[in-house]
């Protein structure tokens, strides 16, 4: 069987060069076409616009801003929980970005003469999370922060008799943490509510002690008041948006 002149010329030319070059440049016509076809298929799959877009898409954050922390609780609530409050307007915490994080606190000492004095402290803080392609949706990030805050509160240094339970009716999920703590020579009772609503985590702390013979606050009563205040604080997020 006779080979065509062009094909014979090509075979002879390939035979005259080193083996490495023959492998690289002198493959058959059918091999070249197959290789080109495979390369095109692989490139197409790797650069699929739909795949890239899907990986970069995250659910938009539910809430775009936070309420003013010192206005998140009504004046009536503050007066009831903190008798003889020093500053009804509250003391705002420092924040480099009030659109992402903010807090406020109130405290007061009710002097009952020979019956001693009742001290109360109330604080509330807010933390908002944006949706980011590399980190996840705002809600997912808030869920993670919520769980970490609960764990952090439970591990408060010196806390005794820590009790944890769900806080019903507060945001989308909430945990109530109660414990006792000895400081300034007195027995303090603490009630903390950590809640999440959408992409925002709300933490409300309420504690108190009895001085000069006054009774230590009842833990269950303290927690009940904290839950009521936490509901109000969490609701303020939706109102702000």
Q: What is the pLDDT of residues 77-89, one digit of tens each?
A: 999 999 999 999 9
Stronger pLDDT, 21 or 53, i.e. the higher one:
53
Give the domain extent around 26. Answer: 5-56
- The model carries a pTM of 0.77
Q: How many residues does the chain have?
A: 241
Say yes or no: 78 and 111 in one domain: yes
* Other Cβ atoms closer than 10 A to 223: 23
The per-residue pLDDT for 31 is 45
Say yes or no: 187 and 97 in one domain: yes
- The domain total for the chain is 2
Most confident by average pLDDT, 13-27, 38-52, 58-72: 58-72
The per-residue pLDDT for 57 is 85
Closest CA to 175 of 167, 185, 183: 167
Task: Report the CATH number that the domain containing residue 101 is assigned in CATH.
Answer: 3.40.1000
Say yes or no: 218 and 153 in one domain: yes
Say yes or no: 49 and 84 in one domain: no
Say yes or no: 43 and 139 in one domain: no
The per-residue pLDDT for 6 is 47
The verdict on residue 61 lying in a domain is no
The per-residue pLDDT for 196 is 98
Say yes or no: 192 and 229 in one domain: yes
* Other Cβ atoms closer than 10 A to 90: 25
Q: What's 113-182 look like in SS3?
A: HHHCEEEEEEEEEEEECCCECCCECHHHHHHHHHHHHHHHHHCCCCCEEEEEEECCCCCCEEEEEEEEEE
């Amino acid at each position: 069987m006779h080979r065509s002149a062009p094909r014979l010329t090509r075979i002879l030319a390939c035979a005259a060069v080193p083996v490495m070059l023959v492998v690289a440049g002198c493959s058959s016509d059918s091999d070249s076409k197959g290789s080109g076809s495979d390369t095109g298929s692989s490139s197409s799959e790797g650069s699929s616009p739909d795949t890239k877009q899907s990986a970069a898409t995250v659910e938009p954050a539910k809430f775009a801003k936070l309420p003013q922390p010192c206005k998140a609780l009504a004046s009536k609530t503050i007066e009831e929980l903190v008798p003889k409050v020093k500053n009804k307007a509250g003391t705002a915490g420092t924040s480099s970005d009030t659109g992402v994080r903010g807090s406020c606190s109130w405290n007061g000492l009710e002097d009952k003469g020979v019956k001693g004095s009742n001290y109360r402290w109330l604080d509330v803080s807010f933390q908002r999370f944006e949706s980011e392609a590399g980190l996840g949706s705002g809600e997912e990030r808030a869920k993670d922060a919520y769980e970490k805050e609960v764990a952090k509160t439970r591990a408060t240094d010196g806390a005794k008799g820590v009790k944890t339970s769900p806080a019903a009716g507060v945001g989308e999920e909430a945990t109530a943490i109660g414990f006792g703590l000895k400081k300034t020579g007195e027995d303090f009772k603490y009630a903390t509510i950590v809640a999440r609503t959408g992409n925002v985590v709300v933490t409300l702390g309420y504690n108190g002690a009895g001085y000069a013979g006054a009774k230590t606050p009842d833990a269950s009563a303290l927690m009940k008041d904290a839950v009521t205040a936490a509901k109000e604080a969490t609701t303020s997020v939706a109102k702000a948006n």
